[in-house]
Amino acid sequence: MERIIAFHNAKDALRKLTPPLLIMQCVRDERTSLTHGEVEFVLWFGLFPVRWLARHEAGPITTSFVDRMIQGPMDSWEHQHIFREIPGGVELTDQITLAHKAGLPGLFSRLIFDGIPLRILFLYRHWRTRRELAS
């Protein structure tokens, strides 16, 4: 449990968890822990930048945290990172609640941050987390 929390708490965790086809640029990281502070970053989709400001908060259990979009491409985004001890390791569960904006911005966010692209993103993130913790 300590290793997975330390991995997610590291300043370069978001970069490591971003798939190689995306460019993630951290603008500022004012987190003091997994459950407190803000991080602002830009995701580059080719020539198109998507700015995102997230606040980190306490999650539903002591071994969890939430990142909540304060400003960004969607109407709302809440991502719960829940870590539970299981026999032989730790289970990581991602619970995402989101709402899209209306019109063209909502169409863009549906194409990038929903359905299959979102599932691929989290398959990559879980794979990368296992890889990092195995080394």
Count: domains in the chain: 1
Burial group, residue 49, by CB count within 10 angstroms (0-12, 13-18, 19+): exposed
Share of the chain above pLDDT 70, in %: 100
Q: What is the pLDDT of residue 15?
A: 92
Q: What is the pLDDT of residue 46?
A: 85
List, for residues 25-80, the tens digit of each pLDDT value. Answer: 999 999 999 999 999 999 998 888 999 999 999 999 999 999 999 999 999 999 99
Confidence of residue 21 (pLDDT cuts 50, 70, 90): confident
Phi/psi for 10 (5° steps) reads -65, 145
CATH number of residue 10's parent domain: 3.30.530.20
List, for residues 68-124, the tens digit of each pLDDT value. Answer: 999 999 999 999 999 999 999 999 999 999 999 999 889 989 998 999 999 999 999
Residue ranges making up the domain that contains 55: 2-134
Please determine, for residue 130, whether its predicted confidence score (pLDDT) is greater than 90: yes
Could you tell me the two tokens for 33?
């822990």
Q: What is the 3-state secondary structure (H, E, C) of the chain?
A: CHHHHHHHHCCCHHHHCCCCCCEEEEEEECCCECCEEEEEEEEEECCEEEEEEEEEEECCCCCEEEEEEEECCCCEEEEEEEEEEECCEEEEEEEEEEECCCHHHHHHHHHHCCHHHHHHHHHHHHHHHHHHHHC
Q: What is the pLDDT of residue 135?
A: 78
Interatomic CA distance for residues 62 and 35, integer angstroms = 10
Q: What is the pLDDT of residue 45?
A: 87
